[in-house]
Structure 1
Amino acid sequence: MGGELIYQTHDGQASVGCSIFADRADIRHQLQEDCDSAGLSVSHSGPLSSLREMLGARLGEIIFIDCPEIDAMRLASLAEMDMYAQRSGARLLISTSLAALNDVFACVDQSDPQMLVEAGRAERIVAMGQALADWRMSGVREWSEHDRMTLLRLSEEVTGLAQRLDQFGLPAPQADHTNSAFSFGEAEAGKKAGRAQRPALPDARLVRQIIQQRQARARFFDAGLFADPAWDMLLDLTAARVEHQRVSVTSLCIAADVPPTTALRWISQMTESGWLQRVADDQDKRRAFIDLSDKAADAMACYFADQQIGGSLI
């Protein structure tokens, strides 16, 4: 992968640029090496304290922020960078910790950043590749729902492979955006039934029982054999809605029963596809929750009604 990666502009060609903000020197060094290997032009690399003063500069098409710990200054900087990315069209990648996830998630609601939780080097490489692919494709056409879900499935496979290769010091593979049979389409019942006619959501106790049955399988089988984060999150949010409980992004990641970064990818794509929605806390603007959209609530209600709410629903 020699040389700089370039793209065509109306004035000719320009290198694809990126910026790195990380307090941990080893992370900055790794990211610098990985960007150089990928042919990206690093326009800035420095600690988080330099983030706000750089907002007026050209930061490039990909901006990586490593923020495992938060305070008022870091949260304010993230919020400003989120708005900058939304205005400029840059792809924002944020690496954080599970402990800081709720606070970080709440303050970045403009640019739909790609978020990583306690990510290793291989996962960061894959995330940069996905951000670059997303940025390049955005200049050509809008992503369809099928495209987004195909990329999500493919990213999961590539991330898992990259993590295994990373253990042996081998280079991570590049994602190939191919077609997939996977489709996260509208539920037929949800199409036919208007919200006023939809059945009631099921008893939360039944949904919690289904969740427990699904989790019990991990005692006897490899948990990855049954990984289905979208359905696990929909079940958890359905029960929470009936119970009038709010669900934080950290809680939903746990409910998904997959690594937090994978869960965040699903949350982002399901939100963009209209199945989930981000809900701000009226009492505390620094907090945000995840809820079913009306479309998803309709579909879940119709699904359970169609299944006669049987005890074998797992």
Structure 2
Amino acid sequence: MNNDTVVGLMKELTATLSAVAGEFDKRIAAVVEPVEETDDEGPSSGALIARANALLAERRLRRQHLPAELFHEPAWDMLLALFVAADDPQPMNIKALVAMADAPVTTSQRWIEHLYKLRLIDRVIDPADRRRVEISLSAIGQDSVTSYLRAVAKM
């Protein structure tokens, strides 16, 4: 495969991913409502974090044994990584989050922007170094991932 073919395939993939993100923007409601809590809280936050860590590890392991393009969901990897990082005193920056997504930088940055538009993540500029942007789950993002992990635990 020559360089022109690879470049053409990369451009086609980028255009497709942009179209998918655009379609998500069109379909999403103006506000993403957090799922209501039930009386049965389910697993502890520690158990949910352990489950999220296990999901991340399973996803990495899958890519070691099967073609990575079969399981390309950078947004989900980012949400799980941010959920796990919520208890970490070190803030997550864009560079670390991109590394967790196991996707090209430009693709990851597009997904970060999309997650921000969906109000699932918050971005804060580091006052000490304005080039650094810290990323965290928003309250809506935290509630959504927690709700998902609790629902999976009940299965």
TM-score by length of 1: 0.38
> CA contact under 8 A between 1:230 and 1:256: conserved in structure 2?
yes
Is residue 267 from structure 1 mapped to residue 112 from structure 2 by the alignment?
Answer: yes
Residue in structure 1 matched with residue 69 of structure 2 by the alignment: 224
Alpha-carbon distance in 2 for matches of 1:259, 1:296: 23
* From 27, 31, 35, the counterpart of 1:191: 35
CA contact (8 A) 2:101 2:108 kept: yes
**1:152 Cα offset (Å):** 4.4
* More strand as a share of residues: 1
Give the percent of matched residue pairs that are identical in Structure 1 and Structure 2: 27
Aligned AA for 1:226? Answer: F
Describe the shift of the 1:267–1:306 C-alpha distance in structure 2 as closer, same or farther (beyond 3 A): same
CA–CA separation in structure 1 for the residues paired with 2:9 and 2:67: 23
State the secondary structure of the residue aligned to 1:191.
Answer: coil
2:19: which partner in 1? 154
Structure 1 254/183 Cα, relative in aligned 2: closer, same or farther at 3 Å? farther
Superposition pairs of residues 54-133 of structure 1, within 5 angstroms: none
Moved more, 243-252 or 279-288: 279-288
How far apart in 2 are the matches of 1:229 and 1:288? 18
CA RMSD, Structure 1 to Structure 2 (Å):
3.8
Gaps of 5+ in 2: 1-6
Please tell me the residue identity of whatever aligns with 1:242. Answer: D
Cα offset, 1:122, TM superposition: 8.0
Task: Show the counterpart of 1:301.
Answer: 146
Superposed CA deviations along residues 221-272 of structure 1, whole A, max 9, x for unmatched, are 1011011111110000000002233111111111112211111111111111
Q: What amino acid does structure 2 have at the position aligned with 1:300?
A: V
Ranked by relative contact order (alpha carbons within 8 Å, sequence separation 6 or more), the top structure is: 2
Larger radius of gyration: 1
Structure 1 residues 286 and 200: CA distance shift in structure 2, 3 A: farther
Within a 5 Å distance, the mapping from 1:253-264 to structure 2 comes to 253-264=98-109
Deviations 1:27-86 (A, max 9, x none): xxxxxxxxxxxxxxxxxxxxxxxxxxxxxxxxxxxxxxxxxxxxxxxxxxxxxxxxxxxx
Matched residues in 2 for 1:302 and 1:263: separation?
A: 24
Match of 2:3 in 1: none
Unaligned runs of 5+ in 1: 1-119, 131-150, 157-176
Match of 2:136 in 1: 291
**1:230/1:184 Cα in 2 relative to 1: closer, same or farther (>3 Å)?**
farther
Q: Is contact 1:202-1:304 (8 Å) kept?
A: no
Change (3 A) 1:200 1:299: farther
Q: Please give the alpha-carbon distance, in whole angstroms, between the structure 1 residues aligned to 2:118 and 2:32.
A: 13
Asked if the contact 2:32/2:140 (under 8 Å) is kept, the reply is: no
Alignment of structure 1 residues 195-206 onto 2, 5 Å:
201-203=45-47, 204-206=49-51
User: Is 2:73 the partner of 1:208?
Assistant: no
C-alpha distance in 2, partners of 1:221/1:183? 32
Normalising by structure 2, we get a TM-score of 0.71
Count matched residues: 144
Instruction: Please name the residue that 1:277 is paired with.
Output: 122
